[in-house]
Chain A
Amino acid sequence: MSPVPGTTTGSGTTAPDSAQAAAPLSAPALPAPSAPTASAPSEGPSSDARRALATTERIRRSVRRLPHLLLGGATRSAAIVALVLLWEAAPRLGLADRTFLPPFSEVAAAWWDLAADGQLADNARASLVRSLSGFGLAVVCAVPLGLLIGWYRPVADVLGPLLEVFRNTAALALLPVFVLLLGIGETSKISIVVYACTWPVLLNTISAVRTVDPTLLKLAKSMDLSAARVFQKVILPSSVPMIFTGIRLAGAVSILVLVAAEMIGAKAGLGYLINASQYNFAIPQMYAGIVTISAIGVAFNQLLVALEKRLSSWRVPAGG
């Protein structure tokens, strides 16, 4: 288990890091916008001159912000750099068994080889196709279903306990059942991803619809809107942030579950790569697979977080 020494340092430092990174960023951003507006009303002969002024101001602002950006990037990556250094040093200093935890440089070299001969890309593609199709299928089915269940209160009341049971049944515990029913091919793997991704999306969607601000519903009623209009103009937009939180959770789940599924009887995929490498005692290759999965997981999550932030900017005061 490679990240054991690192996880503690990692999680311990990232939180204050991001807080520090956010603070200096907002400081120079504040006074800057007032500058062009202040100069605008004083002289109004040429709008070109004003625009030029605004442009130079913008450039100057980004230049002034550059050191802060660099600093922010540095603080944010400090913990990761520390982890990599520790990983490199520990086996070399004999703090960890070199056969089970090779130094990071060896893992990197193995990763490079895997990438060069196309193995990595092939396996990553196999995994991504499975997890993305499972994830996509789950989102496409669970969001409309959740909207429907949430909208019809009696349905939600009847199905509530059942959904609780399914939600609390770990998807991986059902993996053998899926294999039994659907074999060890693609179908069972994509199915388990669909299954695992469905619950966070479905439950978040249902509760998003059910927790719409009642005064907004009263407002819509006072305006004599039809049920379809209420749904389109009030319920749907107010549910978006919470639905997206569910989608983001599902994104993490899709990779988690898939890797586990690929470790049981698969001929391709990153889970297979990790498992096969361990079986063949190709330890650096195994770590290379693990690192790749982490990277994909982080990237996917970042993407969804960015999307979520965009869609729910009205909910939390933007910028804090």
Chain B
Amino acid sequence: MPGTTTQSPTPKIVFKDVRKEFTVKDRAGNRRTSRFTALDGVDLEIADGEFVVIVGPSGCGKSTLLDLLAGLDRPTGGRILLDGRPVTGPGPDRSVVFQQYALLPWRTALGNVEFGLEATGVPRRPRAARAREFLGLVGLSGFEDRHPHELSGGMRQRVAIARSLAYDPGVLLMDEPFAALDAQTRESLQDELLRIWQRTGKTVVFITHGIDEAVYLGQRVAVMTSRPGRVKQVVPVALGSRTATDDLRSSPEFARHRHRIWSLLHDEVTRAQRLEKEEVSV
């Protein structure tokens, strides 16, 4: 398993004083606009092969941060470096797993996985074989010819994961990918994701609302402040061997980490709610 070092020589991903503002309309029909600061002063370094989880109150800018890293949007200020180079746009070195699966409904499971490969210019013949291989990796062998509407929610999310893994990006960006799933499916997908991560050694940035999920998955958990978002604290999680078969979630270590992150988050959520109330009353 990759070490949990923050001080590795060249970090895979660097956020340096990242700021993001949005232009918002004041009132409907009014031409005046104002600036809305979603992120302000985000600093975070992620090592190659690391699994980092980001948690934070709703609306603190987690998805915005991921969009910036994916190259779907540009920061207003600060710098985002990937392998030491600034991020200027999307690229095949990163892949995003969206919360809403984002599967092409007219394509089969296989076709959806192939979609990612077409984008990176893999020739037709090896494409299908590779797509099959990755569907197998997420446990969907035999479902190649099903359309998304013939799959369960968990299966759809697994297709989406297979798609983002198949074109072999160095970095996997996941925005609350398991939020819409039931507890059992979520736990099995978490284990599957850990297994895949350990096997492929990819760098994973994973956003979640679930504290348990954060502690279970992350080597480090970055807790964000409420709006404007900033990284409040990075909590290293040391749980010993993850592959141990006994119930990791009920260990005292797990509970300790869980409580630590919970209290960090709790303060922020109360602050966010107070802020919102003040905003309404102004």
Q: Which residues of A contact B (CB under 8 A)?
A: 213, 215-216, 218-219, 221-225, 229, 233-234, 237-238, 240, 314-315, 317
Whether B147 sits at the interface, judged by CB under 8 Å, is yes
Of B30-38, B102-110, B218-226, the one contacting chain A is B102-110
A residues less than 8 Å from B90 (CB atoms) = 221-224
Of the residues B116, B147, B148, B149, contact of A223 by C-beta under 8 Å? B116
Find A216's partner among B92, B96, B104, B118 (CB 8 Å cutoff). Answer: B104
**How far is the CB of A223 from the nearest CB of chain B, in Å?**
4
Known: A223-B90, A233-B115, A317-B150. A215 touches B100 (CB 8 A): yes
The reply to whether the CB of B254 lies closer than 8 angstroms to some CB of chain A is no
- What is the minimal beta-carbon distance from A219 to any residue of chain B, in angstroms? 4
Pair A222/B106 contact, Cβ less than 8 Å: no
By beta carbon, the residue of chain B nearest A220 is B119
CA distance in complex: A211, B108 (Å): 22
Residues of chain B having any CB pair with chain A under 8 Å: 70-72, 89-92, 94-96, 98, 100, 102, 104-107, 115-116, 118-120, 147-150
Question: Given known contacts A213-B102, A238-B105, what 14 new A-B pairs fall within 8 Å (CB)?
Answer: A215-B100, A216-B102, A216-B104, A219-B98, A219-B102, A222-B90, A224-B89, A224-B91, A234-B104, A237-B106, A240-B106, A314-B107, A314-B149, A317-B150
Chain A residues, Cβ within 8 Å of B115: 223, 233
For A218, list chain B residues within 8 Å (CB): 72, 98, 102
Q: How far is the CB of B218 from chain A (nearest CB, A)?
A: 23
For A234, the chain B residues whose CB sits under 8 A away are 104
Q: List 27 A-B contacts (CB under 8 A).
A: A215-B102, A216-B102, A216-B104, A218-B72, A221-B90, A222-B71, A222-B90, A222-B95, A222-B96, A223-B95, A223-B119, A223-B120, A224-B71, A224-B90, A224-B91, A224-B92, A224-B119, A229-B119, A233-B115, A233-B118, A237-B106, A238-B106, A314-B107, A314-B149, A315-B105, A315-B106, A317-B150
Which residue in A222, A224, A237, A317 is a CB contact (below 8 Å) of B104? Answer: A237
Q: Are B92 and A215 in contact (CB under 8 A)?
A: no
A314 touches B106 (CB 8 A): yes
A221 and B116 contact, CB distance less than 8 A: no
Could you tell me the dominant secondary structure of chain B's interface residues? loop
Q: From B104, which residue of chain A is reached at the shortest CB distance?
A: A216
Residue of A nearest to B173 (CB): A222
Q: Are A225 and B150 in contact (CB under 8 A)?
A: no
Which of A213, A221, A229, A317 lies in contact with B149, CB distance below 8 A? A317
A216 CB, nearest partner CB in chain B, Å: 6
Chain B residues near A222: list those with CB within 8 A.
70-72, 90, 94-96
Q: Which of A213, A219, A238 has the most CB of B within 10 A?
A: A219
CA distance A223 to B115 in the complex (A): 9
Smallest beta-carbon distance B207→chain A, Å: 15
Which has the most chain A C-beta neighbours within 10 Å: B94, B100, B106?
Answer: B106
- List A contacts of B91 (CB < 8 A): 224
Q: Which chain A positions have C-beta within 8 A of B104?
A: 216, 234, 237-238
A14 CB to nearest chain B CB (Å): 28
**In the docked arrangement, what's the CA distance between A216 and B92, Å?**
17
* In the complex, chain B residues whose CB is within 8 Å of the CB of A237: 104, 106
Question: Of residues A213, A222, A229, A233, which shows the largest number of chain B Cβ atoms within 10 Å of its Cβ?
Answer: A222
In the complex, what residues of A have CB within 8 A of residue B98's CB?
215, 218-219
Query: Are A221 and B72 in contact, with the CB atoms below 8 A?
Result: yes
Other-chain residue from A216, A221, A240, A314 in contact with B147 (beta carbon distance below 8 A) = A314
Least CB distance, B153 to chain A, in whole angstroms: 15
Q: Closest residue of chain B to A217, judged by CB?
A: B102
Least Cβ–Cβ distance between B102 and chain A, in angstroms = 4
The residues of B that contact A240 with a CB separation of less than 8 Å are 106
Report the bound CA distance from A221 to B95 in whole Å: 11
A310 CB to nearest chain B CB (Å): 12
Please indicate the chain A residues that have their CB under 8 angstroms from the CB of B149 in the complex: 314, 317
Smallest CB gap from B100: residue in A: A215
**Minimum CB–CB distance for A230 against chain B, Å:** 10
* A314-B105 in contact (CB<8A): yes
Chain A residues with CB under 8 A of B100: 215
